[in-house]
Amino acid sequence: MKKILYIEDDPVSTIFVSKIIQKMGHEVVTANTSELGLSKAYAERPDLILMDVMLPGLDGFEMTMKMRNSETLKHTPIIAITGTHNAGDEQIATIAGCSGYITKPIEYAPFVKYMNSFLEGHEPEETPIEPKEENLELKKLSQRLVQRLTDKVNELSHTNTELEKSNKKLDRVVDETRQHNTDLLQTNEMVNVILGIHQREELYRLLPQMICDRLQLPSVSIYLVNEQGLTLDAFWHHQFDVRADSDKLNFTKPPFYDLVYHQEPFYIDSAWLNAARQVDDVLARDLASLSDAFHAPAVYFLPIMGKKQDDLFACQNSDCSAFNNKDTQWWKKEIHLLDPHDLDYPARLKNVSDFYFNCCLYNLKAILAIGVPEGRMNEPFRNLMNSFSTSIGMRLENIQLYDDVHDAFMVAEKQAITDGLTEVYNYRYFHHQLERELKRAKRHWYKVSLIMIDVDHFKHYNDLNGHPAGDEVLRRLAEIFRNTTRTSDIVARYGGEEFIIILPETPNIAALKLAEKIRATVEEEKFLNGNSQPLGKLTVSVGVATFPDESQSPEDLIQRADEQLYNAKSKGRNRVSSREIK
């Protein structure tokens, strides 16, 4: 049994030839590269070497010449195998030092016979080569080696070129990393600064200039959502004299449309604008004008979000799915159903927005827009700005929370705020809170509703059952009102048997729903001797009014609610009344 080394990079040929050799009763060692084949030739000391001419790295002829210059392998028979049929290849193989030459495809019987002649020491007689022909083949072999060397030089040159590109890319990465570290340091310092700011207006006013100066950006704007007019009100700062034409922008179109309702970042650059021109040239011109106002090749818009607050009470929006485990994307889908090209689009959008902006899950505080210089926008910078906008949102949320707690504490310090009998807020506190809520509503453009409640035929109940029983009814009613409303709502005793409830951030339709719920709950309650009342049970009449749809002042809002209460009583009592709001 002989040992045969087969150097072949084609796995199919390797398996086929190896099986033939093994069937002949010999041991076969394989290698799939010239370098591995040379290593195994030294290690295994084979009796015969079969070698494919076309190998990666050194080819078969070059390998043969290398082996013939080795004391260890110079006498080992080497048979060249090739799938090409170029004229002169057999002579080149002979000149290179090959003992034999076989062409593919390999046929079993001729291959076995050819191999046995080598293994038994009967090598086929070589065809003599004329000196002139030998010189010609030597010249071909030299040209072949020169071409291989040229290819290697070209390959090395290409590798050097790619290495230079990689080095330049690495330099850019180093520069970006250095810039990112600088941006990170400046951003951390800005976070420390905003932690010391305790007023929203001051934060909105200082933040744009601070970001421009610290991060060396051409322009920055903070947009506040004005849901009443469906506009964005801007706080600007930039390094140039030119600024946007208006400080109010319509957010019913991209990119602000998606920012306000989807609360996701948006990026505009020249490529985006070019694509937009193919779809909507008017929109593209508007956005190009907006982009030009930032004096930068790109603008990055980021929503500034506050943390979502847990609420033990269900949202007053009937379609809100925050607490009923339905579709949390309801309003987004509703908004996408609207066609911006319809004539009634603004009105329909406004109707959907009334629910959206007063929903318990709505927590957009503002929009941060930054002009991004050439080459500045990369993934680290994007992530840094996303984190920074989150820090701003959290600070705004904390400022709001601090203001709410501080205001409540100051009111509690100045005066007694609860009614002694019912333990709900008193008349004085009600007036204070109504003024405060309307000021907040004007500043943030949301709705405030007022519910005024009066006990039907309460004098009759007192005359029949006595004042202690009447007092117990008032206490139980106050408890019902507290249990039916949200913690953010303000329940107060307005006087005698009248109660009033302030509903912050609540549109008229939600207030009517709550009022009807209160009326029905009272009607179902079993009060002492309630069946002796003129209506057969103790009931309440309710009037509802909403700011700013019906009024612009606290006094006017109270008057409108009182008028609706009177209307409910005049129509038979035990009902809810409100002016129809379109």
> What is the radius of gyration, based on Cα positions, of the chain?
44
Whole-number average pLDDT of the chain: 82
User: Percentage of the chain with pLDDT > 90?
Assistant: 27
Largest CA distance in the chain: 142
pLDDT of 240: 46
Q: Which amino acid is residue 551, in one-letter code?
A: S
pLDDT of 499: 97
pLDDT of 221: 86
pLDDT of 356: 76
Task: Report the chain's terminal Cα–Cα distance, integer Å.
Answer: 102
pLDDT of 139: 57
Min mean pLDDT across 62-71, 93-102, 125-134, 350-359 is at 125-134
pLDDT of 312: 46
Q: Could you write out the three-class secondary structure of 263-330? A: CCCEEEEHHHHHHHHHHCHHHHHHHHHHHHCCCCCEEEEEEEECCCCCCCCCCCCCCCCCCCCCCCCH
* More confident position, 120 or 42: 42
Read off the pLDDT of each residue in 541-570 and give the average, rounded to a whole number. Answer: 93
Q: What is the pLDDT of residues 143-186, one digit of tens each?
A: 665 566 666 667 777 777 777 777 777 766 656 666 668 888 88
CA gap 454, 569 in Å, rounded: 9
pLDDT of 277: 84
pLDDT of 581: 63
List all residues 6 or more positions away from 490 whose beta carbon is below 8 Å from its beta carbon: 425, 429, 430, 433, 434, 437, 501, 502, 504
CA gap 99, 75 in Å, rounded: 10
Min mean pLDDT across 223-227, 460-464, 466-470 is at 223-227
User: Percentage of the chain with pLDDT > 70?
Assistant: 83
List C-alpha distances in Å: 346 to 281, 319, 335: 21, 20, 11
CA gap 261, 179 in Å, rounded: 33
- Above 60 in pLDDT, residue 24? yes
pLDDT of 155: 72
β-strand pairing of 266-269 with 78-82:
unpaired
List C-alpha distances in Å: 481 to 373, 509, 516: 57, 18, 12
Read off the pLDDT of each residue in 337-346 and give the average, rounded to a whole number. Answer: 79
Residue 372 CB neighbours (<10 A): 24
* Cross-strand partners of 4: 28, 48
How many CA atoms within 13 Å lie on the side-chain side of 484? 22
Q: Return phi, psi of residue 302, to 5°.
A: -130, 130
Q: What is the pLDDT of residues 368-420, one digit of tens each?
A: 989 898 888 888 888 889 999 989 988 888 888 888 777 777 767 656 788 88
pLDDT of 29: 93
Specify burial of residue 210 (Cβ count, 10 A radius: 0-12, 13-18, 19+). Answer: middle
pLDDT of 73: 87
Which pair of structure tokens corresponds to residue 538? 């103790």
pLDDT of 274: 86
pTM recorded for the entire structure: 0.45
123: pLDDT confidence band, cut at 50, 70 and 90? low
Read off the pLDDT of each residue in 77-97 and give the average, rounded to a whole number. Answer: 79
pLDDT of 569: 94
- Above 90 in pLDDT, residue 490? yes
Read off the pLDDT of each residue in 247-256 and give the average, rounded to a whole number. Answer: 71
Contact 311, 486 (CB under 8 A): yes
Residue 539 CB neighbours (<10 A): 22
Q: Which residue carries 């390959």 as its tokens?
A: 155
Q: What is the pLDDT of residues 261-313, one digit of tens each?
A: 778 888 888 888 888 888 878 778 877 877 787 888 889 999 998 765 554 44
Residue 186 CB neighbours (<10 A): 18
Cα angle, residue 520 at apex, residues 516 and 524 outer, rounded to 5°: 170
252: pLDDT confidence band, cut at 50, 70 and 90? confident
pLDDT of 517: 95
Q: Could you write out the three-class secondary structure of 364-406? A: EEEEEEEEECCCCCCHHHHHHHHHHHHHHHHHHHHHHHHHHHH
List all residues 6 or more positions away from 300 whose beta carbon is below 8 Å from its beta carbon: 265, 266, 267, 369, 370, 372, 377, 382, 385
Q: What is the pLDDT of residues 416-452, one digit of tens each?
A: 788 889 989 999 889 999 999 999 999 888 999 999 9
pLDDT of 241: 42
* More confident position, 219 or 477: 477
